[in-house]
């Protein structure tokens, strides 16, 4: 496989000239509008983070801000804090008591509003349920729920009693669920009969039964089932002694549970990331530092105000759902919109109908969604009044400059700052991002590290790459919400994140370049970088050049083995609705890329495809496209959202060649 270790650093080919300085009116009212914040945080990062930590309610103050025994950091050592108390109880003493915490809309159109007081009451009662079932501080709880308020209730109830949760995305199979339950040794599993997706019911309880079948998860003592989809309870088989209805358990539960005093470094949650190979990694986050950084970034990056209606479209099964649906916004006292279903159900304007209906002011979503909206056309957003929007965010993959521009113009009406936020499950919170009142944005760039974060781009030896160059993205100093280890496998933690540069800094696995202004441009995973005739070329740049063509919605680019060049570029392209996928158009696209990036980047093959293989969180899986282009048997497809996409692509690729 081509990797930058075989030759020089990743080349930077794409040139983007557009710059969007903050609107002075936005800056005037922004939560952060003092440019000195960057320098102050840089000169004393610990003081910067301690100022943010002090905005939370601590049961006992910390003795030491940070200890660093590489590769293990501790934050706010000696302090005691409870996350649910900070997300709920803290607000009850203020006017937020009766403010909407969660506005929920189910896919079928049902709605619920929970005020902060309502949510506090439900979390208390459910914490009582967990206690009644014998869940104690330190016991693990697996949560397998759709995007309904009970997901937040269950997570917060776990934090209230100090039981680390492991949320498993509701789209994962019974096998994945079983593997994660057994790795975490969870005592309780929380699920629902089902959830709604594109008009169908996803049978979650049936998947739990399959996961537990034949005693396959011996640690599980109880299964709690929320009734989401049926009016008739008897339709859901329940195993006596093991399975319990959520609403029945509430009947005998205490109504108030005091928040457990947690040490700042006590585990808060485990979240499994699948990675491309091997067993999932259980990313471990702890309490005080995590909450400090998700709270700080929510306020600064999204400029969150009390009057906002904030909508992060991520599922709670992903880290974005943990940090920016639940913990960050609720710690900040936000009104959070939560939507259960698909963006194209019952029609392709569902998101925009929701923005109009609830007057959403802040929208945080992923490039994969934005590119789908581009493909579907502007008539869907154009049907709705979206003038309530004032800030847009992006996360999950590099956003191609043209997708950024489309988002800015067609969703933001040209008035909203766009914050492209780079971070990972491992980092816990946003790391590289514009501050919307201070930093001029450039389409396709995540701009600069958040104050207090020290990111760098280095070559194979770990030397900082001068401006204009590409290389490996690394983090040079610990940050409050960093992962502490991998659950039960510290050796793997050291190996995956710290061995690449001999323990000197955290290796994120992403390629990046930095421009003359010090802006960071994310280039994708380093495993995906291509080596064409001795040049390290980022897939992201070739994809962006393709998406730059007005008729292209999305592209995935890979390097396939080539006798002379080492690797040749193969592109899988999705065109916008109404564009013909002809051989002439393929030729035009090759020419387009060649003009934009230089002849070295001219794709050898272009295959049109209505769909690209993606993970369930919407990231393009290039590894499988390499298998297709090299005529290999397909590797592991279990993490794909839709395995049919690759098998049909494989057939078409082979018939085209033959
Ligand atoms: C939050 C999340 C992490 C990986 C990361 C990158 C990619 C995420 C951006 C991005 C370019 C971005 N956590 N990534 N955000 N690449 N620009 N703004 O996605 O653990 O699921 O994935 O996602 O490759 O390493 S994650």
One DSSP character per residue, 533-553 reads TTEEE-HHHHHHHHHTSTTEE
- Nearest residue (by CA) to ligand 1, atom 22, is 424
Structure token digits, residue 326? 């639940």
Residue whose C-alpha is closest to residue 9's, from 536, 540, 567, 539: 536
| CA 226 / ligand 1 centre spacing (Å) | 32
Q: Is 31 exposed, middle or buried (0-12, 13-18, 19+ CB in 10 A)?
A: middle
Q: Do the Cβ atoms of 369 and 363 come closer than 8 Å?
A: no
Q: Do the Cβ atoms of 606 and 583 come closer than 8 Å?
A: no
Counting atoms of ligand 1 from 1, which one is nearest the CA of 426?
A: 20
- State yes or no: 510 annotated in a binding site: yes
Label the pairing between strands 552-562 and 566-575: antiparallel
pLDDT band at 644 (very low <50, low <70, confident <90, very high): confident
Q: What separation, in Å, do the N-terminal and C-terminal C-alpha atoms of the chain show?
A: 25
Is the pLDDT assigned to residue 61 strictly greater than 50?
Answer: yes
pLDDT of res. 277: 65
Q: Do the Cβ atoms of 186 and 97 come closer than 8 Å?
A: no
| pLDDT tens string 556-567 | 999 999 999 999
- State yes or no: 525 annotated in a binding site: yes
| CA 430 / ligand 1 centre spacing (Å) | 10
- State yes or no: 199 annotated in a binding site: yes
| CA 275 / ligand 1 centre spacing (Å) | 12
Express as a percent the part of the chain with pLDDT over 90: 89
- State yes or no: 549 annotated in a binding site: yes
- State yes or no: 397 annotated in a binding site: yes
| CA 421 / ligand 1 centre spacing (Å) | 8
| pLDDT tens string 125-179 | 999 999 999 999 999 999 999 999 999 999 999 999 999 999 999 999 999 999 9
Counting atoms of ligand 1 from 1, which one is nearest the CA of 433?
A: 18
- Nearest residue (by CA) to ligand 1, atom 26, is 424
What is the C-alpha separation between 60 and 549, in angstroms, rounded? 57
| CA 619 / ligand 1 centre spacing (Å) | 9
Express as a percent the part of the chain with pLDDT over 70: 98
Residue 75 phi, psi (nearest 5): -125, 140
Ligand 1 shell residues, CB under 6 Å: 273, 318-320, 395-398, 420-425, 446, 508-510, 522, 525, 617
What is the C-alpha separation between 158 and 554, in angstroms, rounded? 40
Q: Identify the CATH class of 24-342+421-509.
A: alpha beta
- State yes or no: 406 annotated in a binding site: no
CATH 3.30.300.30 in the chain: give the residue spans.
Answer: 529-657
Q: Which of helix, strand or coil describes residue 362?
A: strand
Q: Do the Cβ atoms of 100 and 338 come closer than 8 Å?
A: no
DSSP 630-648: TTPPP---TTBS-HHHHHH
Pick from 424, 432, 508, 513 the residue to mutate for probing ligand 1's pocket: most ligand atoms within 8 Å of its CB: 424
pLDDT of res. 632: 85
Q: How many CB atoms lie within 10 A of CB 44?
A: 14
Q: Do the Cβ atoms of 326 and 272 come closer than 8 Å?
A: no
What is the C-alpha separation between 43 and 500, in angstroms, rounded? 28
Residue 30 neighbours by CB under 8 Å, 6+ apart: 22, 303, 435, 436, 437, 438
The count of C-alpha atoms lying within 13 angstroms of the C-alpha of 39, restricted to the half-sphere facing its C-beta, is 3
Compute CA 45 distance to the chain's CA centroid, rounded to the nearest angstrom. 25
Residue 116: left if φ>0, alpha if ψ -120 to 50, beta else—which one? Answer: alpha
Going from the C-alpha of 155 to that of each of 140, 335, 625, the distances in angstroms are 11, 18, 37
Q: Which residue is associated with the tokens 């209230």?
A: 160
Residue 95 phi, psi (nearest 5): -65, -10
Q: How many CB atoms lie within 10 A of CB 142?
A: 27
CATH 3.40.50.12780 in the chain: give the residue spans.
Answer: 24-342+421-509
Structure token digits, residue 277? 């190979």
Is the pLDDT assigned to residue 276 strictly greater than 80?
Answer: no
Is the pLDDT assigned to residue 458 strictly greater than 70?
Answer: yes
pLDDT band at 647 (very low <50, low <70, confident <90, very high): confident
What is the C-alpha separation between 405 and 417, in angstroms, rounded? 11
Lowest mean pLDDT among 110-119, 227-236, 264-273: 227-236
Going from the C-alpha of 100 to that of each of 71, 154, 348, the distances in angstroms are 41, 18, 27
- Nearest residue (by CA) to ligand 1, atom 17, is 398
Q: Identify the CATH class of 529-657.
A: alpha beta
pLDDT band at 4 (very low <50, low <70, confident <90, very high): very low
* DSSP-assigned beta bridge partners for residue 475: 455, 506
Structure token digits, residue 642? 């839709």
Residue 134: left if φ>0, alpha if ψ -120 to 50, beta else—which one? Answer: left
Pick from 324, 396, 449 the residue to mutate for probing ligand 1's pocket: most ligand atoms within 8 Å of its CB: 396
Q: Is 63 exposed, middle or buried (0-12, 13-18, 19+ CB in 10 A)?
A: exposed
Q: How many CB atoms lie within 10 A of CB 434?
A: 25
Sign of the alpha-carbon torsion through 9, 11, 17, 19: negative
Alpha helices in 197-347 (DSSP H): 204-212, 246-251, 288-301, 319-321, 328-331
Beta strands in 478-604 (DSSP E): 485-486, 506-514, 520-525, 530-532, 535-537, 552-562, 566-575
| pLDDT tens string 214-264 | 999 999 999 999 999 988 899 999 999 999 999 999 999 999 999 999 999
Q: What is the mean pLDDT of residues 463-487?
A: 96
Q: Do the Cβ atoms of 225 and 191 come closer than 8 Å?
A: yes
| CA 474 / ligand 1 centre spacing (Å) | 14
pLDDT of res. 362: 99
- Nearest residue (by CA) to ligand 1, atom 18, is 422
Cis (ω within 30 of 0) for the bond into 418?
no
Q: What is the mean pLDDT of residues 329-344?
A: 98
């Amino acid at each position: 496989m081509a990797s930058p270790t075989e030759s020089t650093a990743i080349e930077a080919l794409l040139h983007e000239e557009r710059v969007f300085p903050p609107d002075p009116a936005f800056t005037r009212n922004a939560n952060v509008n003092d440019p000195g914040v960057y320098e102050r945080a840089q000169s004393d990062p610990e003081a910067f983070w301690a100022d943010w930590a002090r905005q939370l309610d601590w049961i006992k103050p910390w003795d030491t801000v940070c200890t660093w025994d590489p590769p293990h950091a501790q934050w706010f050592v000696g302090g005691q804090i409870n996350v649910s108390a900070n997300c709920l109880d803290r607000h009850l003493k203020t006017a937020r008591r009766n403010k909407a915490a969660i506005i929920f809309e189910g896919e079928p159109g049902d709605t619920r509003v929970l005020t902060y007081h309502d949510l506090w009451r439900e979390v208390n009662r459910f914490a009582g349920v967990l206690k009644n079932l014998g869940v104690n501080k330190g016991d693990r709880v697996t949560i397998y729920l759709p995007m309904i308020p009970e997901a937040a209730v269950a997570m917060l109830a776990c934090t209230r009693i100090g039981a680390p949760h492991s949320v498993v995305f509701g789209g994962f199979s019974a096998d994945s669920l079983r593997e994660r339950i057994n790795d975490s040794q969870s005592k309780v599993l929380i699920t629902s009969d089902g959830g709604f997706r594109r008009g169908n019911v996803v049978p979650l309880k049936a998947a739990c039964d399959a996961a537990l079948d034949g005693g396959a998860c011996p640690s599980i003592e109880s299964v709690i089932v929320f009734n989401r989809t049926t009016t008739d309870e008897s339709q859901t088989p329940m195993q006596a002694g093991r399975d319990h209805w959520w609403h029945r358990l509430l009947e005998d539960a205490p109504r108030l549970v005091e928040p457990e005093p947690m040490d700042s470094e006590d585990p808060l949650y485990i979240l499994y990331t699948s990675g491309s190979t091997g067993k999932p990694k259980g990313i471990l986050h702890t309490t005080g530092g995590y909450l400090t950084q998700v709270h700080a970034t929510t306020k600064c990056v999204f400029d969150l105000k009390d009057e906002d209606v904030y909508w992060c479209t991520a599922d709670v099964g992903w880290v974005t759902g943990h940090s920016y649906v639940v913990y960050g916004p609720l710690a900040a006292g936000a009104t959070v919109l939560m939507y259960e279903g698909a963006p194209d159900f019952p029609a392709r304007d569902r998101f925009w109908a929701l923005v109009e209906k609830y007057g959403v002011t802040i929208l945080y979503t992923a490039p994969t969604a934005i590119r789908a909206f581009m493909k579907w056309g502007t008539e869907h957003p154009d049907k709705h009044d979206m003038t309530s929007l004032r800030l847009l965010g992006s996360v999950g993959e590099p956003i191609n400059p043209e997708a950024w521009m489309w988002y800015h113009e067609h969703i933001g009406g040209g008035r909203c700052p766009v914050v492209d936020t780079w971070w990972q499950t491992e980092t816990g919170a946003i790391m590289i991002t514009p501050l919307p009142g201070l930093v001029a944005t450039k389409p396709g760039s995540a701009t600069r590290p958040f104050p207090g974060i020290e990111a760098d781009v280095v070559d194979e030896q770990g030397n900082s790459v001068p401006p204009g160059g590409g290389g490996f993205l690394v983090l040079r100093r610990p940050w409050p919400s960093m992962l502490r280890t991998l659950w039960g496998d510290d050796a793997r933690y050291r190996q995956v994140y710290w061995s690449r540069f001999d323990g000197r800094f955290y290796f994120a696995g992403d390629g990046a370049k930095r421009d003359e202004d010090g802006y960071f441009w994310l280039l994708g995973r380093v495993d995906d970088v291509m080596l064409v005739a001795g040049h390290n070329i980022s897939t992201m740049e070739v994809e962006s050049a393709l998406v730059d063509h007005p008729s292209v919605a999305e592209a995935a680019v890979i390097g396939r083995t080539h006798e002379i060049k080492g690797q040749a570029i193969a592109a899988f392209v999705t065109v916008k609705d109404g564009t013909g996928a002809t051989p002439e158009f393929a030729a035009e696209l090759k020419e387009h890329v060649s003009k934009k990036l230089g002849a070295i980047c001219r794709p050898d093959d272009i295959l049109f495809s209505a769909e690209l293989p993606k993970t369930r969180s919407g990231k393009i899986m290039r590894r499988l496209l390499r298998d297709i282009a090299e005529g290999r048997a397909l590797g592991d497809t279990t993490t794909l959202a839709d395995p049919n996409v690759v098998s049909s692509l494989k057939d078409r690729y082979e018939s085209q060649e033959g």
